[in-house]
Amino acid sequence: MALTLTVSSSSPHLAVLWTVEHLKGQVQINVKEGKDTVLRVTDTISFTDVHSIIRYLARLAPDKGLCGSHLTEQTEVSHWLEFSQTKLMQKAEFAAGLEALNNSLSLRTYLVGNSVTLADMCVYSALEGSNEWQTQLQQNQAPVNVRRWYSFLEPQLVF
C-alpha cells in the first residue's frame, strides 16, 4: 500500500518536506498539494500532526537513522522534538531555550549522534520560523554555537 502525503500548499512544513526528500528512494510516497498536511497510511489510519508524520516516515527507513540509532539517541530525539515545539515557540521562554540550545551545541556538530536526525530538522524549522531568531541573526547577536550549527545545516536544506 503506497503512502499518500498531502502537503499544505499555503504553509508547507519544512520538516515534512525535508524528511520526504531525505528518504527518497527508500520509501515510496505519493505527494500532492492540498489544504492541510496529512499522511494517509491506510484507509483508516492517517496522521495530521507534523511530528507524527515525520516519525512515522523515519521509522520506515531505520537505516537512515533519522530517529536516532539506539534507545538513548531516540530519547534525545524525542526531547528535541518537544523542545522545538515548546521552548522555541513561546515568546516568554525563547531566550532561555536558545541559551540551552547554545550550551548543548558547544560539543556537538549535530544535536543527536553523529549525523543529521529529526531533532536537527525540527529545531531548525522552529528557529527559521521565529522572528526573534531572524532578528538576532541580522543583528549578528545570535549565540555562536547555534549560529554555526544553523549555517551548517542551511545549505543542506536548500531544495
Closest CA to 36 of 11, 53, 57, 60: 11
Write out the DSSP string of 104-123.
HHTT-SSSSTTS--HHHHHH
Binds other proteins (CB under 8 A): choice among 52, 93, 99, 135: 99
Sole window of 41-49, 53-61, 77-85, 146-154 interacting with other proteins (rule: CB under 8 A): 146-154
- Binding positions for other proteins, 24-83, rule CB under 8 A: 24-25, 30-33
Asked if 104 interacts with other proteins (CB under 8 A), we say: yes
Please count the other Cβ atoms lying within 10 Å of the Cβ belonging to residue 152. Answer: 13
- Closer residue to other proteins, CB minimum distance, 84 or 104: 104
Distance CA 11, CA 59 (A): 25
In a 3-state reduction of DSSP, which class is residue 8?
strand
Q: How far is CA 44 from CA 25, 40, 41, 144, in A?
A: 26, 8, 8, 47
Q: Work out whether 95 is an interface residue with other proteins (CB under 8 A).
A: no
Residue with Cβ nearer other proteins (10 or 44)? 10
Site residues, other proteins (CB under 8 A):
7, 9, 12, 17, 20-21, 24-25, 30-33, 99, 103-104, 106-109, 114, 144, 147-149, 151-152, 155-156, 158-159
